[in-house]
Amino acid sequence: MSIHIPATVGQIAPLILLPGDPLRAKAIAESLLEAPVLFNETRGMLGYTGMVDGQPVSVMGTGMGIPSISIYVTELIREFGVRTLVRVGTCGALQPEMHIGDLVLAMAASTDSRVNQRRFSGQDFAPVASFSLLSRAFATACEQGWPVQVGGGLTSDTFYATDPDWWKDWAEHGVLAAEMETSALYTLAARHGVRALSILTVSDHVITGEHSSPDERERGFLRMAKLALSLLDRAGQVH
Ligand code: HPA
């Protein structure tokens, strides 16, 4: 039992999928986990554990932004022994050749947040994905023929920016897409010696203003969740 997750130790699996939206967690649990059991509903942040090929897997919402995901990820790792955390979320594309529905595997996460500067006394930390999760997710996405890009992401503190050109410096440095959580996920995973990966789907294009339809979003989430579950090997381990 932790401050924000009143579950008991053992109720949450070593592998957890983390969508931002708790209702996505419910949808993933109901469509991809066998016999899902609700372990959290405090603040509406639904969390479930069920089985996949005989192995326990959990899925829980994180809310939006660095402060919210940081609280849940810290408690999941410290209090519940979670060892592999896979964010499944949406992002806004920053490169002209990218399309709505593309998968993005965030290899690293730049940020406009000051949270890590405080953590590192004004110095810059480079939050990176687990290479083993990243390389296997990339291989699986390619095998499935899913459009996938691997590169840097931007974790932003603002969804509605005041400067219309906010994205240009990042785009000119090759950053693929913006979202609001990955830098915290990767930093906390590094701090606690566990594995993390952000699997993202382009839901909007920052340059063209295009948006995905609700149907496209739904399909994107199922595909990301399947990709995350493919990280379990036949013995139910994640390496
Ligand atoms: N910015 C930040 N977060 C996002 C975006 C975006 O454009 N799209 C989806 N999540």
Please name the residue that has the structure tokens 């566990």.
194
pLDDT band, very low/low/confident/very high, at 239 (cuts 50, 70, 90): low
Q: Which atom of ligand 1 is nearest to the CA of 204?
A: 8
CA distance to 13, 44, 80, 180, 198, per residue, from 77 (Å):
11, 20, 6, 20, 16
Q: In the prediction, which pLDDT does 76 show? A: 98
Give the CATH number of domain 15-229. Answer: 3.40.50.1580
pLDDT band, very low/low/confident/very high, at 158 (cuts 50, 70, 90): very high
**Residue 9 backbone phi and psi in degrees, to 5:** -60, 135
The string of pLDDT tens digits covering residues 104-151 is 999 999 999 999 999 999 999 999 999 999 999 999 999 999 999 999
Q: Which atom of ligand 1 is nearest to the CA of 179?
A: 3
Dist. CA 104 → ligand 1 center (Å): 13
pLDDT band, very low/low/confident/very high, at 236 (cuts 50, 70, 90): low
| Rounded-to-integer distance, Cα 14 and Cα 129, Å | 17
Q: In the prediction, which pLDDT does 150 show? A: 98
Q: Is 101 helix (H, G, I), strand (E, B) or coil?
A: coil
- Indicate which residue's Cα is closest to atom 2 of ligand 1: 179
Provide mean pLDDT across the span 1-10.
Answer: 95
- pLDDT at position 238 over 70: no
Surface-to-core class of residue 236, CB atoms within 10 Å of its CB (0-12 exposed, 13-18 middle, 19+ buried)? middle
Count Cβ atoms below 10 Å from residue 174 Cβ, excluding itself: 10
Q: In the prediction, which pLDDT does 113 show? A: 98
pLDDT band, very low/low/confident/very high, at 234 (cuts 50, 70, 90): low
Q: Which atom of ligand 1 is nearest to the CA of 156?
A: 2
Dist. CA 219 → ligand 1 center (Å): 18
Dist. CA 71 → ligand 1 center (Å): 20
Best CA proximity match to 88, nearest among 21, 173, 188, 175: 21
| Rounded-to-integer distance, Cα 196 and Cα 188, Å | 9
Residue ranges of domains in the chain: 15-229
**Among 62, 103, 179, residue to substitute to test ligand 1 (most atoms within 8 Å of Cβ):** 179
- Please give the mean pLDDT across all residues of the chain: 96
Q: In the prediction, which pLDDT does 86 show? A: 98
- Catalytic positions: 204
Ligand 1 binding pocket, CB closer than 6 Å: 90-92, 156, 159, 178-180, 203-204, 206
The string of pLDDT tens digits covering residues 94-111 is 999 999 999 999 999 999
Cα radius of gyration rounded to whole Å, the chain: 17
Dist. CA 144 → ligand 1 center (Å): 26
Dist. CA 91 → ligand 1 center (Å): 5
Provide mean pLDDT across the span 35-57.
Answer: 97
Q: Are 73 and 62 in contact (CB under 8 A)?
A: yes
Q: Provide the percentage of residues in the chain whose pLDDT is more than 90.
A: 96
**Among 102, 162, 203, residue to substitute to test ligand 1 (most atoms within 8 Å of Cβ):** 203
For the chain, count helices (H), then strands (E).
Answer: 7, 9
Q: Which atom of ligand 1 is nearest to the CA of 90?
A: 9
Best CA proximity match to 188, nearest among 51, 44, 82, 58: 82
The string of pLDDT tens digits covering residues 162-221 is 999 999 999 999 999 999 999 999 999 999 999 999 999 999 999 999 999 999 999 999
- Indicate which residue's Cα is closest to atom 3 of ligand 1: 179
| Rounded-to-integer distance, Cα 132 and Cα 231, Å | 9
Q: Are 58 and 48 in contact (CB under 8 A)?
A: yes
Q: Is 192 helix (H, G, I), strand (E, B) or coil?
A: helix
- Helix intervals (H) in 129-204: 131-144, 168-172, 182-192
